[in-house]
Structure 1
Amino acid sequence: MLTLLHHCGRTLLTARTLQTVHQSHYSAQMAKRVAVVLAGCGVYDGTEIHEASAVLVHLSRGGAAVNMFAPNVDQMHVVNHMTGEPAQDKRNVLVESARVARGKIQDLSKLSVKDHDAVIFPGGFGAAKNLCSWAVQGKDCSVNDMVKDTLQAFHKEGKPIGLCCISPVLAAKVIPGCEVTVGIEADGKYPNTADTAAAINQLGCKHVSKSVGESHVDEKNKLVTTSAFMCDAPIHEIFDGIGTMVRDVLKLA
């Protein structure tokens, strides 16, 4: 009797072990593979660090497998973040982005759409200076060729694209007739939204007013956007709003 119970216990333990291994293997297989595209390091001339961090935390919480990329190009310029004034030195977008990525980053030219289920672009002035020239040319800007190719490739494959803060203007330039948000147009907490929204509409796209805690989902184009630091809001509200964007991207992936 004791031998039988011992045998049954071993069988049950083995079954549970196999089940755990199977579940872990299944979870690994089902993990969404997300590319995150950075634009440097620092709000005034690169990626907004808090936004990038929020994106990565929410992707981790969502069980996603993440790869980070940035274009291997010079920054438009370098800004002294203490004074807000331009500096004389030159910096490389990929090298500076490696600071945010803790060194684990690749040249954007190596991003393979077939190896990823979604792509996300955090904001910061780098998105409007290094990924495109919106900061100086507005709606008449040009978009970096690799960034343009990335957006068009994910869009063509029907894979979701997440963008926050100012980065939704990239979609407005590359994806005709799309819907995005950069905040609420008639609200003092969104000081730069009205002009940006007007330019987006002039491009033939549609701006949708959303609060900082919300994201807008363009179901047709699988675009998910949120305002983040386009809003003068406490950092936890920015963090939560980016969370809605990330969750919506993962749902669509």
Structure 2
Amino acid sequence: MFSFRVIRTRCLHNLGSRFFHTTNYAGSSKVAVVLSGSGVYDGSEIHEASAILVNLSRGGADVSIYAPDVEQMHVIDHTKGEPMEQTRNVLVESARIARGKIAALSTLNSSNYDAVVFPGGFGAAKNLSSFAVDGVNCKVNGDVERVLKEFHQAKKPIGLCCISPVLAAKVIPGCEVTVGQDKEEGGKYPYSGTAGAIQEMGAKHINKTVAETHVDEANLIVTTPAFMCETRLHEIFDGVQKMINQVLAMTK
């Protein structure tokens, strides 16, 4: 059994090198992943983030993780789905998923990467943008907007899942994305109204099932519905896997 001192020493060692991913492959694709906190209701959807990281690892990518160094819009008690009287920092919370190896989004230089990927979760609509409150009139975090525009202008692929495609819809005019279906289908797609908001923002929504992706060839944007659909967990992973495989294929 590890003593507290050993655990503490290892944690401090890891934190000392937290800005560097532990695995580097010669000639591999370099991919930045942008998180928005930790937890579906106020941050990144953890299963989506994990599926993205697993499939990037399987694909041999060299991954670095970033998040904005800002306060969350609010904190949700995930046992009740209700706001709590406390504040949390998006970067600090995202570090839980990144196992400490994370940097502030303001330091992300698109010239160092071949692609960027955004998991979903309400953090994308609350912390990376104000979509959860302002809908089509939302504002996007300045560094998120900068990163998306830089990758787009450099013709480097962008992967987004769940609710995060609204970020691209807002800052890349005329792009094509999917968040699933534009009808609820008896509750299977409870957030289907997002499709209409995407259209209002000047982007084009493409209906897809949870296991499918949409590839906007003109803008090099790959999207998949993920938890915008009420379904079994492995189907979420299947769609994310397809998204990541397509993003990596575009970097070759």
TM-score by length of 2: 0.88
Match of 2:144 in 1: 147
Deviation digits for residues 57-85 of structure 1 (CA, Å, limit 9, x no counterpart): 01011110100000000000000001111
* Unaligned 5+ runs, structure 2: 1-23
Correspondence 1:23-172 to 2 at 5 A:
28-172=25-169
SS in 1 for 2:31: strand
Q: CA deviation at 1:191?
A: 1.3
Q: Across the two proteins, how many residue pairs are aligned to each other?
A: 226
Is this contact kept in 1: 2:42–2:75, CA < 8 A? Answer: yes
SS in 1 for 2:72: coil
Is this contact kept in 1: 2:42–2:123, CA < 8 A? Answer: yes
CA–CA separation in structure 2 for the residues paired with 1:226 and 1:172: 14
Letter in 1 for 2:48: E
Deviation digits for residues 104-129 of structure 1 (CA, Å, limit 9, x no counterpart): 00000111111100000000000000
Match of 1:20 in 2: none
Whichever structure has more helix as a proportion of its residues is: 1
2:240 maps to which of 215, 239, 242: 242
CA–CA separation in structure 2 for the residues paired with 1:239 and 1:119: 18
CA–CA separation in structure 1 for the residues paired with 2:94 and 2:201: 30
SS in 2 for 1:68: strand
* RMSD between aligned residues: 0.9
CA–CA separation in structure 1 for the residues paired with 2:116 and 2:179: 18
SS in 2 for 1:143: coil
* Unaligned 5+ runs, structure 1: 1-26
2:250 maps to which of 226, 249, 252: 252
Identity %: 62
SS in 2 for 1:136: helix
Letter in 1 for 2:196: A
Correspondence 1:168-183 to 2 at 5 A:
168-183=165-180
Letter in 2 for 1:237: E
TM-score by length of 1: 0.88
Report which of the two structures shows the higher radius of gyration computed on alpha carbons.
1
Letter in 2 for 1:153: E
**Corresponding position: 1:209 with 2:200:** no
Letter in 2 for 1:31: S
CA–CA separation in structure 1 for the residues paired with 2:137 and 2:45: 23
Letter in 2 for 1:209: N
